[in-house]
Chain A
Amino acid sequence: MTRANLIRQILRIGLLCIIASFVLGPLLATVLGGFKSNEEIQTSALSLPAVWRTDIYAGILADPGFWRYLGNSLIISVATVVLTLLIGAAAAYVFAQIRFFGSRMLFSYLSLGLMFPFATAILPLFVQVRDLGLLDTYWAVILPQTAFGLSLAILLFRTFFAELPKELFEAAYVEGCGYIRFFWRFTLPLSTPILATVGVFVFVQSWNNFLLPLVVLNSREAFTWPLGMMQYRGEYAVEWNRTLAFVTLTILPAVVFFVAAQKYIVAGLTGGAVKG
């Protein structure tokens, strides 16, 4: 019995390791590639570098363009998170706390965004953003991202708010606290778990977004990092080591962020999904 268990355990770990190498191999080759010369990459893509060159990484880190791409992405992502949380929570609070005629209808209306992929409306969205004079501004990315993120945010917030104890609101109201102040002073602070989950999720989506920035940002000054990365790839087409170093430096913050925030990411994905 124990022997059979041992064999089973070995088989299990072996299989897991094979799949783990399929996952990690490409990532490892990418990180190492940034330390090699192109000739070395050409002779062996997976091996450790014979000489660890750091000049490629250093060159990118010294490039102000690189930091501008990251800065643009950061500004856009943070603004999207703040707007989505504030606007989404405000609307969800109304749906959870206030009964009025048409409330259900408006809620269904705002849920429409869950029904279809973002890409379906990308052309008219481009026309809309252009006609509003927003092309090449941060708003061109922030506002549509926020609008498309609202549906899910409102749905999750409403469920959470509805579960907050009603007695609290009644007590606060007797003390003279109005709806809006209650929202600001009690509902939001009591809802940090769901705010964090939605916030992390919105941030990652914005940080990784490619299609929308591609469509509405044309000037390099405004490029987010995925656009900058493709630009870089185009410029150094045959110099894979530069592209690989660039990729490594941009996915590094994502990995660090993921490890730090994984609790919320996993909760957001599985919690919502499994209950739905």
Chain B
Amino acid sequence: MAAVEMNAGSPSATEKLRRRLTSGRMTAALVLLPPALILFTLFVIYPLAGSGVYAFYDWNGYGAPTDFAGFENFERMAGHSVFQQSVMNSLKVIAVSLVVQLPLALLLALLIYRRTPENTVFRLVFFLPYILAEIAAGLIWSFIMDGNYGVVADLTRALGIDPYFITSDRSWAFTAVMVVIVWKYFGFHMMIYIAALQGVPKDMIEAARIEGASRLEVVHHVQVPMIRPAIIVSVFFSVIGALQVFDVVIPLTNGGPSNSSHTIVTYLYTFGLARLKIGYGSAVGVTLFIAAVAVAVFYQRLFMRKPA
């Protein structure tokens, strides 16, 4: 920024301007920068560092942590079947995102990326769930899936079978959670794809068509390769998002039945915070942190290499 071209006539004028620009600079930096640094350190870095320390203690959060436990918290966590299940569940969310959610989002984006009035309406409708609070989405769906009252109740009655409570069924409860996640987020990924598809030059598509390419071939050989950066970003969002699922689960299953539908964060909340086992919960937090950073670093190494 100091290398800005200056159009002042004489060298002395340039020099004068430069000197004046330097004075007052430090004052400005000293006034404008500290609020961000202080707040960020106090409420992001300090707690994060705290996690790294508390994770090695057996601590209920009162007084100073003195009961050093070494890796005990981590060992207990790794051996806890509910934790293992919660990791599996988070992996399932990633799998469903990749296999169901993103292809659905891409299909819809291809169907409605052109700017027409009816496409605008569909775009708004599909994006709508994204704007709702996750907690509201979870609550709405816990009604829909209620075996006595909801739409599921309508269905079982129409089929003449007994009421069915999907969120109390050990083998299907987490599937219910994933349905809601897809419902809530496919529109978000669709929007990313639409923005990218609108940036694909029209003449490229037309040229391919003139050369005899079918619609599917255009999608496969022109449009999808052209929006690769958007796909990479949206996969990244869904992986990072899968590690953070919490709000949706609480009203739907609250981690149940018999702790079968926990995600890493609901596990952290239920077995760490709700029982005031700050040390144990911190160990879970540290593990989640390492997972998130590892994903971010590896993913960027692999796919997001930018031209400096």
Contacts and interface: CB of A to CB of B under 8 A. Distances in A.
B192 A121 contact: no
Interface stretch (B79-87, B91-99, B206-214, B279-287): B279-287
A93 interface: yes
Contacts of B246: 119, 210-211
A74 interface: no
Contact of B183 (A22, A99, A122, A204): A22
Given A116-B293, A250-B136, A90 B131 contact: no
Interface centre among B1, B20, B27, B131, by most chain A C-beta atoms within 10 angstroms, is: B131
Interface centre among B48, B148, B250, by most chain A C-beta atoms within 10 angstroms, is: B48
Interface stretch (A38-46, A49-57, A58-66, A191-199): A38-46
Interface residues of A, number: 98
B133 A210 contact: yes
B126 A20 contact: yes
B240 to A, nearest CB: 7
Nearest to B268: A119
B140 to A, nearest CB: 5
A208 B44 contact: no
Nearest to A227: B135
A274 B198 CA distance: 12
A123 B278 contact: yes
B143 A121 contact: no
B47 A121 contact: yes
Interface in A166-209: 166, 170, 173-174, 178-180, 183, 204, 207-208
A12 interface: yes
A188 to B, nearest CB: 12
Contact of A126 (B194, B273, B289, B292): B273
A123 B281 contact: yes
Contacts of A12: 111
A115 B45 CA distance: 12
A269 B191 contact: yes
Given A147-B39, A274-B233, A117 B29 contact: no
B37 A240 contact: no
A226 B136 contact: yes
Interface stretch (B117-125, B164-172, B217-225): B117-125
A179 B27 contact: yes
B307 interface: no
Contacts of B54: 123-124, 127
B140 A122 contact: no
Task: Tell me the interface secondary structure of chain B in the complex.
Answer: helix
Contact of B17 (A100, A148, A173, A273): A173
B20 A179 contact: no
Interface in B13-40: 17, 20-21, 24-29, 31-33, 35-37, 39-40
A29 B144 contact: yes
A132 B243 CA distance: 29
B161 interface: no
Interface string A1-44: 00000000000110110011011111101100100001001101
Contacts of B70: none
Contact of A119 (B134, B148, B183, B244): B244
B140 A180 contact: no
B285 A179 contact: no
Interface of A: 12-13, 15-16, 19-20, 22-27, 29-30, 33, 38, 41-42, 44-46, 86-88, 90-91, 93-94, 96-100, 106, 109-110, 112-113, 115-128, 130, 143-144, 146-148, 150-151, 154, 166, 170, 173-174, 178-180, 183, 204, 207-208, 210-211, 215, 226, 229-230, 233, 240, 243-244, 247, 250-251, 254-255, 258-259, 262, 265-266, 269-271, 273-274, 276
Interface of B: 1-2, 4, 6, 17, 20-21, 24-29, 31-33, 35-37, 39-40, 42-48, 50-51, 54, 61, 104, 108, 111-112, 118, 122, 124-129, 131-136, 139-141, 143-144, 146, 148-151, 153-154, 183, 187-188, 191-192, 194-196, 199, 229-230, 233-234, 237, 240, 243-244, 246-247, 250-251, 265, 268-269, 272-273, 278, 281-282, 285-286, 288-289, 292-293, 296, 304
